[in-house]
Amino acid sequence: MQLPDGLVAVVKRDCPTCLLVEPVLRELGAAVWCQDDPDWFDGDDTSLELSHRLGVETVPTLLRVDGGRETARTVGWSREQWAELTGVPGLGEGLPDHRPGCGSLSVDPSRADALEARHGGRLASRRVQLADLEDEHEALFDRGWTDGLPVVPPTPERVVRMLRGTTCDPGEVVAVVPPDLVPCTVEKVAVNAVMAGCRPEHLPVVLAAVEAACAEEFALHGLLATTYFSGPVVVVNGPVAARVGMNSGVNALGQGNRANATIGRALQLVVRNVGGGRPGEVDRATLGNPGKLTFCFAEREEGSPFAPLAADRGVPGDAVTVFAGAGVQPVVDQLSRDAESLARTFAACLRVNAHPKLPLAFDAMLVVSPEHGRVLREAGWDRTRLLAELDGLLRLPAGELVRGAGGMAEGLPPGAGDGDVPKFRPGGLLVAHAGGDAGLFSAIVGGWVAGETGSAPVTREVRV
């Protein structure tokens, strides 16, 4: 809308100060737009489009416009400020010198999101119109946009609200999402974050997770197409975890925390709805695992024997690490009170990852609980020390791993040699710290295939 040159005002009739200055506005011959009564002045702004575009927060607002551009503005009524802006002395004879204005209808919380969605020009996504008799939740199921559970309908107002969680431009491309290799914008991530049930403050973590999962080395297309169990697991580090309410303690790998559940779910919905990674199509998992719905937790940095996982991987502060995880294997050791004994328990359980006769084939993540972590901390063991111990304990005799050994056809091909073979490739075993204070239990999250044919963990910074 092109503003006329001269004096322009925005008012509403339900504002005592606007009523007070009506004679002054008429005396000045200002072009006046009214927010709530189209018949009070010539300008009708009951749609609030003009108020929104001008960023009006208080009425009355008086502006000077030159060459179609605003050059000066004042809000409320102040005889001195109005005289300075208009160049007309002695305005409002008989009126008080000053009166504050009222809140603009355009910033009313019940209207602001709809106005931003309608007139803000930030949203580029296609609008899908539903028939009057369609149930919106069933319509989303019918269109294949859900993960099997109901999703939050991504109305323009909700997407606008979600985008306030980041300073990134909605049109910025976050990643190219496999398998269809579709460029995914911040707005598209926000749409799926709404559907997942995220809050706006969760969006930066979701954006980082999408970026990490779509990195070439993570091999998301292969992870989708495999018949194996795996899907993305998101581990969050830094102050952002507490800031957005993530759980790193009791039941950290389970249900009940909105941030954990919805951040991981949003990533999975982006893969499904933007990238086309749907079960039964590109996703060919024989059995899958419940973590393919959502698998996200924060590392418990407080009291940990280890530096934060992301920091050890070269990204300090707020960051996510994405790992191709296949599910949770319990580790029980209620008796070890020294680090050496506990490490042997970890090694024995890690040896059976995927299959006890398949070394160098599958990665894993060991999630050490606080009670087990205390044993390591009191012994002065950090992550490097634990991994070195496990590497030594997980060097397996090749003769026991060949096909047929132990009466099992699975294993290494003949001619594997007589030496020892490491269970994990270099960097193929991650170690994190999470869980409640009580319970001498840890967990192994089995990974997908390792090396050039598989997936490598990826860590990315969380940017607001």
pLDDT in tens, 348-402: 999 999 999 999 999 999 999 999 999 999 999 999 999 999 999 999 999 999 9
The predicted pLDDT at position 325 comes to 96
- Reported as a pLDDT band with limits 50, 70 and 90, residue 424 is very high
Exposed, middle or buried by CB within 10 Å (0-12, 13-18, 19+), for 82? buried
The whole-number pLDDT of residue 452 equals: 79
Residue 263 CA, chain-centre distance (Å), reads 5
User: Whole-number mean pLDDT of the chain?
Assistant: 96
Domains delineated in the chain: 6-119 (3.40.30.10), 140-461 (no CATH)
Q: How far, in Å, CA of 284 to CA of 223, rounded?
A: 9
Q: Would the pLDDT of 1 be above 70?
A: no
Q: Count Cβ atoms below 10 Å from residue 134 Cβ, excluding itself.
A: 12
Q: At what angle do helices 203-213 and 258-273 cross, to 10 degrees?
A: 50
396 DSSP β-pair partners: 421
Query: Is the C-alpha dihedral spanning 109, 113, 116, 118 positive or negative?
Result: negative
Which pLDDT score is estimated for 281? 94
> What's the whole-number mean pLDDT along residues 431-449?
97
Segment 16-55, tens digit of pLDDT? 999 999 999 999 999 999 999 999 999 999 999 999 999 9
| Confidence bin at 314 (pLDDT 50/70/90) | very high
> Nearest 5°: phi and psi at 361?
-105, -35
CB atoms within 10 A of CB 58: 17
Question: Which pLDDT does position 160 carry in this prediction?
Answer: 95
Mean pLDDT of 113-121: 89
Overall size of the chain counted in residues? 464
390 burial type by CB count under 10 A (0-12 exposed, 13-18 middle, 19+ buried): buried
d(CA 443, CA 119): 50
The single residue listed with the structure tokens 């999975």 is 268
- Cα–Cα distances in Å, from 446 out to 213, 225, 264, 349? 17, 18, 18, 11
Greater confidence (3 vs 272) lies with 272
Residue 234 · residue 210 · CB < 8 Å: no
